[in-house]
Structure 1
Amino acid sequence: MSNSLVLTTSLVRWDGGTAAYHLVRIDGEPAEAIAMHARIERLETGRRRGFGSVKVSARVGDTEWKSSVFPSKPNGWILLVSKKVMRAEDLAEGDPVRLELELL
């Protein structure tokens, strides 16, 4: 099983009441691969990470950062994208994002 994923998805804005966040949703086969990685990690360590998250190294364009993806109903994951990344890669809400993830 590969620990690297490449996908293209859209940048979404989510309003959280007091603040707005930008994120990408991960669905389908990439989401299944992340879920399998989380299950294997849980079996190996005997514990689950906070909120069921999975550590990742993410890359969009030339910008790379370490973060976590979080489970999202029904069977997906989300990755927050900071303003710093959005500025560096000239991204705006609705833009397609080519995302490279390494599951850590």
Structure 2
Amino acid sequence: MQIEFAAPLWQWQVRTDSWWFVTVPPEHSDELADLPLPPRGFGSIRVRVTVGTTTWTTSVFPSDSNGGYVLPMKKKVREAEKLVPEKPVQVTLETIDV
């Protein structure tokens, strides 16, 4: 399955660590939740992601706070694509192992 969406970049801080995410919109999170996938840690789903000219493999994770999935955004990607907090990020996400 391949989905495309735009959503703002946001930061989650825990202790001294800082993690950056983009939230998968509810309609696409529902599609991901309905996939018949093998069980993985934390309910994660392996994906191939493209933002701008950068493509990488990672996982999306269920989020307790919004009931959808969140996509972690590596520092390397944020810097290469000049992503700015709270600004929309155009994402192409393709599931792996489906």
TM-score, with structure 2 as normaliser: 0.92
Q: Which among 83, 86, 89 is matched to residue 91 of structure 1?
A: 83
Q: Residue by residue, what CA displacement relative to the aligned partner does 1:7-62 show, whole Å, maximum 9, x if unpaired?
A: 0100001111121111111131110111112xx124xxxxx101100000011011
Letter in 1 for 2:91: L
Give distance in 2, aligned partners of 1:28 and 1:9: 11
- What stretches of structure 1 of length at least 5 have no aligned partner? 43-47
Letter in 2 for 1:75: G
Q: Residue by residue, what CA displacement relative to the aligned partner does 1:53-89 show, whole Å, maximum 9, x if unpaired?
A: 0000011011000000000124200111011001110
| Structural RMSD (CA) | 1.0
Corresponding residue number in structure 2 for 1:53: 44
Corresponding residue number in structure 1 for 2:28: 30
Give the % identical residues: 35
Is residue 7–residue 25 contact of structure 2 (8 Å, CA) maintained in 1? no
Q: Which among 54, 73, 76 is matched to residue 63 of structure 1?
A: 54
Q: Which among 69, 73, 93 is matched to residue 101 of structure 1?
A: 93
Question: By percentage of residues, which structure has more helix?
Answer: 1
TM-score, with structure 1 as normaliser: 0.86
Following TM superposition, where does structure 1 have runs of at least 4 consecutive aligned residues deviating by more than 6 angstroms?
none
Q: Secondary structure at the match of 2:37?
A: helix
1:6 is aligned to 2:8: no
Q: Secondary structure at the match of 2:33?
A: helix
Corresponding residue number in structure 2 for 1:45: none
- What stretches of structure 2 of length at least 5 have no aligned partner? none
Corresponding residue number in structure 1 for 2:71: 79
Aligned length in residues: 95
Letter in 2 for 1:66: T
